[in-house]
Amino acid sequence: MMLNNLTPEQLTPAQRWMILFSSSFGGFFVTFMTSGINVGLPDIGRQFNLSGVYLNWISLSMVLVSAAVLLPMGRLADTYGRIRFFVGGMVVFSAASFACALAPSANALLAFRMVTGIGLAIGSVTAPALVILAYPFEKRGQALGWNVLGVYLGITVGPFLGGLIFRNLDWRAFFYILGAVNLVNVIIPVWKLRHIEWKEPAQGRFDLAGSGLFAVGLVCVLLGFSLLPTVLGVVFLPVGIVGLAGFVWWETRASDPLLPVRLLKSNRVFGAANAAVLINYGATAAMSLLMSYYLIVNRGLAEDVAGLVIAAGSLVQAVSSPFAGRLSDRVSARYVASSGMGLCVLGLFALIFLGASTPYWYIVLALCVIGLGFGLFSAPITHLVMGSVDRSQVGMASATMGVLRQAGMNLSIGVATMLIALYVGPLHLDITPENYAALRAPFLTTVQVSFMIFTALCALGIVASMVGPRKGESSRS
CATH placement of domain 9-193? 1.20.1250.20
Residues 285 and 237: their CA atoms lie apart, in Å, by 19
Secondary structure element (H or E) that encloses residue 196, with its range: strand 196-197
Residue 370 is predicted with a pLDDT of 93
How many Cβ atoms sit within 10 Å of the Cβ of residue 150? 23
Longest dimension (CA), the chain: 70
Residue 341, Cβ density class (10 Å: 0-12 exposed, 13-18 middle, ≥19 buried): buried
Residues 132 and 129: their CA atoms lie apart, in Å, by 5
Predicted model pTM = 0.76
Helix, strand, coil shares, percent, the chain, to 5: 80, 0, 20
- Cβ atoms of 122 and 94 closer than 8 Å: no
Of 226, 222, 274, 218, whose CA–CA distance to 246 is shortest?
218
Looking at the chain, the whole-number percentage of residues with pLDDT higher than 90 is 16
Q: Looking at residues 138-153, what average pLDDT do you find?
A: 80
- Cβ atoms of 316 and 458 closer than 8 Å: no
Q: Which of 201-205, 323-327, 445-449 has the highest mean pLDDT?
A: 445-449
Judge whether 9-193 and 264-467 match in fold: yes
Residue 474 pLDDT exceeds 50: no
Query: DSSP letter at 425?
Result: G
Residue 176 pLDDT exceeds 90: yes
Q: Using 50, 70 and 90 to split pLDDT, how confident is the model at 476?
A: very low
Residue 130, Cβ density class (10 Å: 0-12 exposed, 13-18 middle, ≥19 buried): buried
Residue 4 is predicted with a pLDDT of 65
The full set of domain ranges for the chain reads: 9-193, 207-255, 264-467
* pLDDT tens-digit series, residues 449-470: 999 999 999 998 888 878 765 5
- Cβ atoms of 165 and 177 closer than 8 Å: yes
Thinking of the domain 264-467, which architecture would CATH place it in?
Answer: Up-down Bundle (1.20)
Distance of CA 412 to the CA centre of its chain: 13
**DSSP states of 62-113:** HHHHHHHHHHHHHHHHHHH-HHHHHHHHHHHHHHHHHHHHT-SSHHHHHHHH
Residue 195 pLDDT exceeds 50: yes
The amino acid occupying position 256 is D
Angle (deg, nearest 10), helices 303-330 and 360-387: 40
